[in-house]
């Protein structure tokens, strides 16, 4: 697979956070406003409307790069224009209102690409025998042990989500390079699609720069997490 055909998903490594880490929430989520964060992962384009109000919360992810939950990017204007040049009409840049930093945009992913290779991937589903009320008769995805795309179906897409697993955003090599160039990934980890990745309780563990052996038990994972916390406090 050539470098231009590689796809990644941006997975937040919560083991790096401390009590001083800032994070962002959509104010509507906290105040009962018209738009909540999960509405931005369905591939829907929203008409022009007032800027999305962002506020700081108490836990989660650092600002201004990543929004709490659902793999939603918040980017500065210059980076947003670069990403639009790569992804074209498959993304929508929605202005944000954030007192601490102007010119931020929420990246709304519009492309939903059904490119998951179910046969080559290792997927655990609820109701594996099928569920009549669920759109995909295989059931609802619970965990993915190995994620593999159908290369023909994924080709040509720069930023997208999967219809059956839309709370993760996937990017191609060009987008990854742009995020690194603009310094937008200091606390985030790229996981390459078509490689094995063990999920434990929804958390996949890797060092940000050096790939290590994945813990094979919940107890080992907790021990690693405690070790990281002790090292960060020194």
> Using H for helix, E for strand and C for coil, what is the string for the chain?
CCHHHCEEEEEECHHHCCCCCCCEEEHHHHHCCCCCHHHHHCCCCCCCCCCEEEEECCCCCCCCCEECCCCEEEEEHHHHHHHHHHHHHHEEEEEEECCCCCCEEEEEECCECCCECCCCCEEEEECCCCCCCCCCCCCEEEEEEECCECHHHHCCCCEEEECCEEEEEEEEHHHHHHHHHCCCCCCEEEEECCCECCCECCECCCCCCCCCCCCCCHHHHHHHHHHHHHHHHC
Q: Which of 78-82, 91-95, 122-126, 220-224 has the lowest mean pLDDT?
A: 220-224
Per-residue pLDDT, 207: 31
Q: Where residue 224 falls among pLDDT bands split at 50, 70, 90?
A: low
Calculate what percentage of the chain has a pLDDT beyond 70: 50
Check whether 89 has a pLDDT greater than 90: yes
Mean pLDDT for the stretch of residues 217-228: 58
CA distance linking residue 210 with residue 135, whole number of Å: 39
In angstroms, the Cα distances linking 72 to 68, 109, 163, 167, 169 are 8, 8, 16, 9, 7
Summary mean pLDDT of the chain: 68
User: Do residues 54 and 62 lie in contact, with contact meaning Cβ atoms separated by under 8 Å?
Assistant: no
Residue 133: Cβ within 10 Å count: 5
User: Do residues 100 and 76 lie in contact, with contact meaning Cβ atoms separated by under 8 Å?
Assistant: no
Structure tokens at 105: 């945009």
Q: Where residue 122 falls among pLDDT bands split at 50, 70, 90?
A: confident
Check whether 213 has a pLDDT greater than 50: no
pTM, two decimal places: 0.69
Calculate what percentage of the chain has a pLDDT beyond 90: 9
Per-residue pLDDT, 200: 34
Q: Where residue 54 falls among pLDDT bands split at 50, 70, 90?
A: confident
Structure tokens at 2: 């050539």
Provide φ and ψ at 225, rounded to 5°.
-60, -45
* Between 65 and 179, residue with greater pLDDT: 179
Check whether 78 has a pLDDT greater than 70: yes
Q: Where residue 22 falls among pLDDT bands split at 50, 70, 90?
A: very low
Mean pLDDT for the stretch of residues 142-153: 77
Q: Where residue 19 falls among pLDDT bands split at 50, 70, 90?
A: very low
Per-residue pLDDT, 81: 92
């Amino acid at each position: 697979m050539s470098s231009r055909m590689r796809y990644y998903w941006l997975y937040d490594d919560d083991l790096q956070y401390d009590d001083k880490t800032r994070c962002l929430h959509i104010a509507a989520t906290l105040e009962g406003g018209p738009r909540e964060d999960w509405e931005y992962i369905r591939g829907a384009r929203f008409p022009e409307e007032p800027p999305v109000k962002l506020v700081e919360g108490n836990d989660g992810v650092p600002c201004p790069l990543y929004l709490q939950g659902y793999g939603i990017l918040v980017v500065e204007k210059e980076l947003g224009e670069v990403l639009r040049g790569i992804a074209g009409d498959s993304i929508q840049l929605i202005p944000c209102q954030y007192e601490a930093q102007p010119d931020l945009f929420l990246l709304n992913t519009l492309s939903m690409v059904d490119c998951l290779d179910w046969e080559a991937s290792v997927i655990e589903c609820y109701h594996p025998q099928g569920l009549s009320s669920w759109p995909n008769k295989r059931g609802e995805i619970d965990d993915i042990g190995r994620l593999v795309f159908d290369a023909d179906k994924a080709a040509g897409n720069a930023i997208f989500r999967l219809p059956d697993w839309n709370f993760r955003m996937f990017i191609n090599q060009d987008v990854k390079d742009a995020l690194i160039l603009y310094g937008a990934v200091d606390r985030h980890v790229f996981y390459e699609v078509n490689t094995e990745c063990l999920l434990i309780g929804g958390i996949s563990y890797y060092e940000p720069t050096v790939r290590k052996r994945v813990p094979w038990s919940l107890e080992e994972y907790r021990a690693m997490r405690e070790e990281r916390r002790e090292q960060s406090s020194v």
